[in-house]
Copies of this chain bind each other. A is one copy, B any other.
Amino acid sequence: MLQKVSVGRKDLNLYRGVVGDELIDEIIDLAKELKGYRFAHINSTPFGGGVAEILASFIPLLQSVGVDIEWRVIFGDRQFFDITKGFHNGLQGADFSLTKQVQERYMGNLLFNARQLPHHYDLITINDPQPAALPYFIPHSKTKWVWRCHIDMAKPNRQVWDFLRPFIEHYHLAIFTMSAFEPPDLDVAIDIITPAIDILSTKNMGMPLDFAKKVIANQGVDIHKPLLLQVSRFDPWKDPMGVVKTYQLIKQEYKGIQLAFVGSMSQDDPQGWQMFADISEASLKDPSIYIFTNVTGVGNLEVNAFQRASTIILQKSIKEGFGLVVSEALWKQTPVVAGKAGGIVLQMHHELGDYLTETIEETAKKVCHLLKNPGLAQELGAIGKKQVMEHFLMPRMIKQELEAYITLLQRSR
């Protein structure tokens, strides 16, 4: 029912100490220009995944400087979300059978949502394919429509894309994470805005290293031995079983090595639970493999501790929209070895780029190299933090989004 999402309070001014006054003052000036306009972001879920995580910070940070912005989630039945999961994979190139029935179910759900959408918004940003057809059902509104796409659409499944493209061409602007993600034949104004992390959230806030070590020790990890960590959903695109194999290769050289997975499980994800079961089995056979999830109470603050206290962080993705965890890890000065995929590449420039890998063997080799050279690992950590500071903090993204809003709203005057 296009439910509004309740977000807590945040304060952008707290970023002055991090990014300096100039950027925050610029944002406040932009916010003033937007006085009187009403904004909304719409996506498919209030929690789970990077988009919800970004909005949970982005929305209240904007509210704190006076922008009138709300966050709403669409309502859909079970079949609808099965279909949009298919779309999501299809837009990334996977097969999908787009029957007449599927099309009708998708449109029926969005028509239902469209009828409930209040008409007072001046600009609405729709995130990802699930609610993408909404504007189509509100043809005569004065609202400016922005489509914010977080996935790699360079080689979409033709059938899915041919179906969705006309809906997307109803938008005034489409925003992608990187140019390489644009579909080949989209006739809409395009902007590129890279996602960012909120370093004042519990996931990224400062934490004494001693405390972080105590936290992971209390979770049963031996803090006197090296620890590899992958933080991610249990999803084939994140290749968790590849991580286990990488670890087993490394273990041939480093007997004491440990591996932890921290993942969040979602309600409706049988595939995720199956992968969780597979890794649990590996962990029963090898007590140096740990697996932690939100269902046993491991939350953002524990993730923060794990990212700080780990020796090396893996993000062995095969396909990746952005991969917020990479910036999260680098912000904490922990070196990262990651899959050469999607937005991860953006986050690992220069020296860090040497630690982008494509195979299990290569990943194991890079990890061993860092284990052998702790000075180098430390150096990479410091470089990583600097890169995140320059490119991947929330205020930079907020400024770009507000500029995009202003351009769009002025165009219509």
* Chain A residues engaging chain B, CB cutoff 8 angstroms: 4, 6-10, 46-48, 52-53, 56, 60, 200-203, 205-208, 211, 214-215, 218-222, 264, 266-267, 280, 283-284, 287, 290-291, 294-303, 305
Contact = CB atoms under 8 A, between A and B. Distances in A.
A221 B298 contact: no
Contacts of A287: 9
Given A47-B295, A220-B60, A299-B302, A283 B211 contact: no
A195 B87 CA distance: 49
Nearest to A53: B297
Given A205-B214, A295-B294, A297-B303, A220 B8 contact: yes
Contacts of A280: 6
B291 A299 contact: no
Nearest to A9: B220
Contacts of A207: 211
A300 B295 CA distance: 10
A300 B299 CA distance: 7
Contacts of A10: 218, 220
A173 B299 CA distance: 38
A205 B215 contact: yes
B218 A205 contact: yes
A6 B283 contact: yes
B48 A295 contact: yes
Given A201-B218, A220-B9, A300-B299, A294 B294 contact: yes
A17 B280 CA distance: 33
Contact of A297 (B4, B9, B283, B299): B299
Nearest to A4: B284
A297 B300 contact: yes
A46 B9 CA distance: 34
A154 to B, nearest CB: 31
A179 to B, nearest CB: 31
A309 to B, nearest CB: 13
A101 to B, nearest CB: 27
A136 to B, nearest CB: 28
Nearest to A291: B6
Contact of A296 (B47, B297, B298): B47
A305 B304 CA distance: 14
| 7 shortest interchain CB distances as A-B pairs | A299-B299, A8-B220, A297-B300, A301-B301, A9-B220, A294-B294, A47-B296
B219 A8 contact: yes
Contact of A299 (B56, B201, B214, B294): B294
Contacts of A211: 207-208, 211
Contacts of A283: 6
A199 to B, nearest CB: 10
A64 to B, nearest CB: 10
Nearest to A294: B294
Nearest to A201: B218
A266 to B, nearest CB: 8
Contacts of A8: 219-221, 290
Nearest to A207: B211
Nearest to A48: B295
Contacts of A300: 297-299, 302
A46 B220 CA distance: 17
Contacts of A218: 10, 200-202, 205
A202 to B, nearest CB: 5
A267 B276 CA distance: 15
Nearest to A219: B8
A214 to B, nearest CB: 7
A380 to B, nearest CB: 27
Contacts of A294: 294-295, 297, 299
Contacts of A290: 8
A214 B208 CA distance: 13
